[in-house]
Structure 1
Amino acid sequence: MKVMIADDHPIVLSGVKALIENQNKGFKIIAEATSVEALFKTLSKEKIDILITDYSMPNNDYVDGIAMINKIKREHHNIKIIVLTQMTNTALLNSLVRSGIDGVLLKKDVLTDIHHVISVVKNGGKYISPSVSNLILSRQRTLTEPSPKELEVLRLFSSGMSVSKIAIHTNRSIKTISTQKKQAMIKLGLEHDSEIYEYIKSLD
């Protein structure tokens, strides 16, 4: 099985590579990448069976996160995708799991989980690490879905509209839009505006 590893942190990349090679269970690492651009360039030239990739990496015109995963799936149908991430936002993790990837684990679990996730994925299974599963379950117990109007505000905001422009577009007050945006983020556990973009991309 030909394996590629993509991560912008050299220590993580070399650590994962060493863990896989030390086991020598029929997996050969044939490529590495430290950026989204390098990742897609390699995929266009090499036949990869399993891609182990960070969720978010430096990029120029290339997308990352959910959009990156979806682009890989569209253009390289046969690649098994395992995502390594430090992300603990439960809404985004849940979206990542729903995206149809083959495996996901937190970087802190690489040492204990990496061999198991590769074996499961190799045999056609799906692997969600216990840490990720627990985070998603905690979200289901404590968070709620935004209302249709709150979700509309997030979609318009992610499209590039400001709060004041959304107010004009929806015929609501700026105060109402600000409140609906804030409430939606609280319900989804989103802490930064950048997470709004990621969440909305995961719904498309």
Structure 2
Amino acid sequence: MDKLRIVLADDHPLVLVGIRDLLDTVLYVEVTGAVSTSTDLISHLEKNHSNVVITDYSMPGDDAYGDGMRLIKYLIRRHPDLQIVVLTMVSNPMIISALYDAGVAAVVLKRDNLAEIVTALSMLRLGRKYYPPGFGRDHLAGVQRNPIGDCINSLSPKEFEVLRHFVRGETVTLIAENLKRSVKTISGQKASAMRKLNVQTDQELVAFCMESGLFQ
């Protein structure tokens, strides 16, 4: 069976080094490159044949292709044969479900052992999708239930993306531009998210996201 040709994308250099060192021990893997921005990732894919990309979900600071769902959808649209493995701290089952619905082959949670990446690649090599441990096919199995967790898990994928950009310091207008939605739509989704999280002001919203580690 041919080797998996993999490109890595993460804005944390130590994470890239750790993953590359891990994959260098896997005989059926060839790492074609390691990049830290979505623009560099797209450029690498245009110039080098790769059939798998392992990318962080959150890589801020690149307006050309963005990150999160925006980047994932672009990759799937532009490179339909590419198998995408998403690394993320996000455990919201609705967000993970949305990633699979968009077409990713695997979601690996950063809180799990790094070796899960190898498990995910093994599943891909067998032509199967990989699901994080404890993540049932009903997308809800094993999810921790608590008041804060319930609030976070009630966020829709679109609301989650709006909050992720807002916490970075982006205005509603800029978020609308980046996500290709109207300002009215973004404002409504932000307001809906605030109701679900039971916060009344922007300051409370930012504090909630920071204290809960929502986007770490």
- Aligned partner of residue 120 in structure 2, secondary structure: helix
Counterpart contact for 1:16–1:110, Cα < 8 Å = no
- Aligned partner of residue 77 in structure 1, secondary structure: coil
Residue 18 of structure 1 corresponds to 21
TM-score w.r.t. structure 2 length?
0.65
- Aligned partner of residue 90 in structure 2, secondary structure: coil
Counterpart contact for 1:3–1:29, Cα < 8 Å = yes
Q: 1:132 to 1:5 in 2, by over 3 A?
A: farther
List per-residue Cα deviations over 1:87-137 (Å, max 9, x = no partner): 233432232232221000111324231111001012211001115559843
Residue 36 of structure 1 corresponds to 38
Q: 1:16 to 1:40 in 2, by over 3 A?
A: same
Residue 161 of structure 1 corresponds to 184
Structure with bigger helix share is 1
Residue 55 of structure 1 corresponds to 57
Structure 1, gaps ≥5 residues long: 167-176, 196-204
Counterpart contact for 2:9–2:37, Cα < 8 Å = yes
List per-residue Cα deviations over 1:133-153 (Å, max 9, x = no partner): 59843379956868xxxx9xx
CA RMSD of aligned residues (A): 3.4
**Whole-angstrom CA distance in 2 between matches of 1:14 and 1:82:** 17
The aligned amino acid for 1:8 is: D
The aligned amino acid for 2:184 is: M
Q: Which moved more, 1:103-112 or 1:9-18?
A: 103-112
Counterpart contact for 1:93–1:136, Cα < 8 Å = no
- Aligned partner of residue 130 in structure 1, secondary structure: coil
Q: 1:162 to 1:59 in 2, by over 3 A?
A: same
Residue 92 of structure 1 corresponds to 95
Which has the higher relative contact order, 1 or 2, with Cα contacts under 8 A spaced 6 or more apart?
1
Q: Which moved more, 1:101-110 or 1:135-144?
A: 135-144
**Whole-angstrom CA distance in 1 between matches of 2:190 and 2:145:** 25
Counterpart contact for 1:104–1:132, Cα < 8 Å = no
Q: Which moved more, 1:61-70 or 1:6-15?
A: 61-70
Q: Which protein shows a greater Rg?
A: 1
TM-score w.r.t. structure 1 length?
0.69
